[in-house]
Every structure is written in C-alpha cells, then in structure tokens.
Amino acid sequence: MKQTWRWFGPKDCTLIEEIEQAGATGVVSGLHHVPNGEVWTRAEIEKRQAEIATRSDGTPSSLKWDVVESLPVSEDIKKQDGAWRAHLEAYKTSLENLAEAGIKTVCYNFMPILDWTRTDLAWRLDNTATCMRFDLIDFAAFDIFILNRADAASDFPAEVVEAATARHATMLDADKQALMANIVMGLPGANQELTFNDFKALLGSYSDITSERLKSNQYTFLREVLPTAERLGMRLCCHPDDPPFSLLGLPRVMSTEQDYAELIAAVDSPANGITLCSGSLGVHPQNDLAGMMRRLGPHVHFLHLRNVQRESDMFPGSFYEAEHLGGSTDMVALIAAVLSEEKRRRAEGREDWNIPMRPDHGHEMVDDFKRPQQPGYPVTGRLRGLAELRGVIAALSSDFANLSTDARDNNA
C-alpha cells in the first residue's frame, strides 16, 4: 500500500517534514479555500504541489500530492438545483487541470450538507487520551429540542426520545452551544463554514430530496464527469456516508455494500470507484469490511484505515473512534484482503496495483495536547496509527512471501 497522510495546507498544524518523519511517502490534500462549484485552476494546484514539496525551512521534501481529498460536489449538484450545470462544467475543468498536473486519484462524497457528524470532538478515554464520539442520545437532544426539527422525534425509538428529553433538561446553555458547534462544524479546514442559521436553511432546501432522488442525482453526476475522468486516465472514488445512516431527515445513499455495488453497476467505467473507509462503513454492523474488499476490490482506488467501537447492538447507535487495531472492525483481516487484491492487480499488470491509504483520524495523545490540532487529525495519534498499520502490513507481506516460497518449494 502507498502510505499517505492527509494535509489541509499551510494552515495545517502538521509540518511537511513531520509527515516525512512519520514515514508517509505521499500526501492527500485539497484546495479547501476554493468555494464549492468553482474551478480549481492550474495556478492554485501548482501552488499546493509546491507547498507539499517544500519543508518549513525551505529545503525540498520527498513528498508529492498523490490523492485529492476532496474535490467537493456542490449542494447544487447534489440537489440538481440552482447553478448545478455550471458547477458540473467547473468540475470537469478542475479534473482537466489536476490531470495536467499529474494527479490522477480524486476522492469525493455525496453526503448532503455535512461531511461527517460527531457530538463530541474530544471525548476522554480511560487512558486520558481523547477521541471523537457520536452519542445518539446527545444527537437526538440536538435534533428534537435545539434544532427543533419538525417531527424529529419520530425518527428515534421511544426509549431514545425519553433519554434525550431527560438529558436536554440537564443541559446548560454552554452545553447546548458546544453540542451545536460540534455537529455543524463539518470537516476541519473545509471551505464551507456554516452558521446555525445557514445550516437550518440548507436543511430546508433538502425537504423534497428522497434517497432515491439523491441516488439518481449522483448517477447523473457520474455520467456527466466520468467520460472526462476516463479520457484523462483518472480514478474517482466515492467516500461512504459518515455515519452510515440517515440524520436530520437527510437521505444517505453510500452506506452499505449494496449501495456501492449499485453505484458500480449503474455507471460502468474504470474511473468509477470506491474510497473504502473502514471507520465510516464499520459503524454499520452488517458491513463486512474484509468481505467488501474481496468482492469490490477491483474498484477500490483509495483506503481510509481507521476503526470505531460500536457501543451497543442498537443501530443506529452510539460509537467512538477506537484505536486503529481495536474497535469493531477486524483490521488485520481487512489489510490481508487489501494485500491480496494488490497481488492480483500486479499479476494482471495493472499500473494502479499499489493502492494509496492513509491512517484516518486518531486519538489525541502525548504532545498533541501541547499544540493546536484539527479535530480527528492529531499528529501523534495518527503517527501511532500509521506505525501500527505498517506493522500489520509488514507481517502479512512476509506471510504472503513465505506462502509463495512454500508453494514454489512444494511444486519443485
């Protein structure tokens, strides 16, 4: 696997040389300052490439921009509303400019409004590290009483509504403000910073968008942009919903293996692919991550390796970001499936056999508490995650090599 690291640009709390020190050999980045729907120009792309290629002391780094995450799909495109056709043309032009700069892997998502949703961005663990968490009771309290969304209570089981009612009654104004800020925050460094009123207005604009319509709109988007991507030799890879269930009455269309199978079948193109995020998909108890990798592997162009711990058998339910080798997903089995897919690709002669991955999220720990951090993206926490993942990869790669040697010896 190509071991990469997400970097949000010059405002990121991680220095380029620290990415090198972590052992990553590539960078995942985006132009987070460019408004959604506008063209990514060659000048801005080359500026970001130069920033990645230069350490803080001005000396050259060993890194380059390998994966775009994300080239945003505007809300207009998702709804097929407003300036969506102009945004489609801008998207195609951005793909042209990225390809000219030598960047061929592009992650995107089709989640309405929010890229991910958590109720707590610094939940304290037993070992005093902190992580991000989604608490279903807190979220229900927000949805029903703070957002005051019409009929919100009908979206939750009666026992959850009862618990949310009790919890909301104990919340101070400061608690409510913190919960609201956490939920509407969205991705660190993103170009869309929402106020609470902005959030409510956007939510209202999706009132007529069903899951079926959103899925249809996604297929239309792909039919429009994939011919450009295919001509340029690019790979688009869709990130799953995070979390993989409906929130705030909004539709979710990329939550299960079936969703991805339908996506691949709907638009047949080598450029139509998957970002396999083991954390997002791992929240859903029916998602078998290793099995998904085996069955959909030829279409997986990018990997987010992280783990979550589901806190009960209830689904939807509460969960928190676990250690990379802990949690509810068998990370060793998933990595074994990835290595098997890479071996298969090499035998086929595919140029893209080396699948880029990044250690996603991480616990805030050790020196992370002494420096500013983007929520979910601490330096030390991700360094630990990458080191653990690298150890599994090395051990399994050795096992694969030994199995191949044993097979040759037996055949001899």
Catalytic residues: 239, 277, 304, 360-361, 377
Cα 108 to its chain centre, rounded Å, is: 9
State how beta strands 319-322 and 130-134 pair: antiparallel
Q: For 180, list phi and psi in degrees, rounded to 5.
A: -60, -45
Q: Helix or strand or coil: residue 321?
A: strand
Cα–Cα dist 240/111, whole Å: 8
Name, in order, each residue with C-beta under 8 angstroms of 268's C-beta and a sequence gap of 6 or more: none
Task: Return the amino acid letter for 248.
Answer: L
Q: What is the separation, in whole angstroms, between the first and last Cα of the chain?
A: 31
Burial of 372 (0-12, 13-18, 19+ CB in 10 A): exposed
- Cα separation of 373 and 380, whole Å? 10
Query: Whole-angstrom Cα distance, residue 126 to residue 146?
Result: 30
Three-state DSSP at 26 gives: strand
